């Protein structure tokens, strides 16, 4: 199992949104380093959810449930 860090703007998609939705697709990522990290993710890996902006903190942990897909 590997661990990754995923940054999210809480005003765009927060840990509360993820908890409500139970699942999401992490799309729209344009940073090359972040895209490479997403391509390395495998089911069972853990993702530390980091809120940027005023909070600047890890606010939760998520689990990868599928292989990476091409960004729609």
Query: Rounded to an integer, what distance in angstroms lies between the CA atom of residue 48 and that of residue 51?
Result: 10
pLDDT band at 4 (very low <50, low <70, confident <90, very high): very high
Residue 22, CB-side half-sphere exposure with 13 Å CA sphere:
0
pLDDT at 72 over 80: no
Global pTM reads: 0.85
Higher local confidence (pLDDT), 70 or 44: 44
Q: Which residues, other chains included, contact 63 with Cβ-Cβ below 8 Å and sequence gap of 6+?
A: 44, 45, 46, 47
How does DSSP classify residue 42? -
Q: For 16-61, what is each residue's pLDDT tens digit?
A: 999 999 999 988 889 999 999 999 999 999 999 999 888 899 999 9
């Amino acid at each position: 199992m590997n661990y990754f860090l995923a940054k999210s703007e809480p005003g765009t998609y927060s840990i509360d949104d993820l908890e409500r939705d139970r699942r999401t697709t992490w799309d729209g990522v344009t940073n090359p380093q972040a895209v490479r990290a997403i391509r390395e993710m495998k089911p069972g890996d853990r993702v530390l959810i980091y809120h940027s902006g005023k909070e600047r903190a890890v606010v939760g942990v998520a689990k990868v449930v599928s292989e990476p897909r091409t960004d729609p």
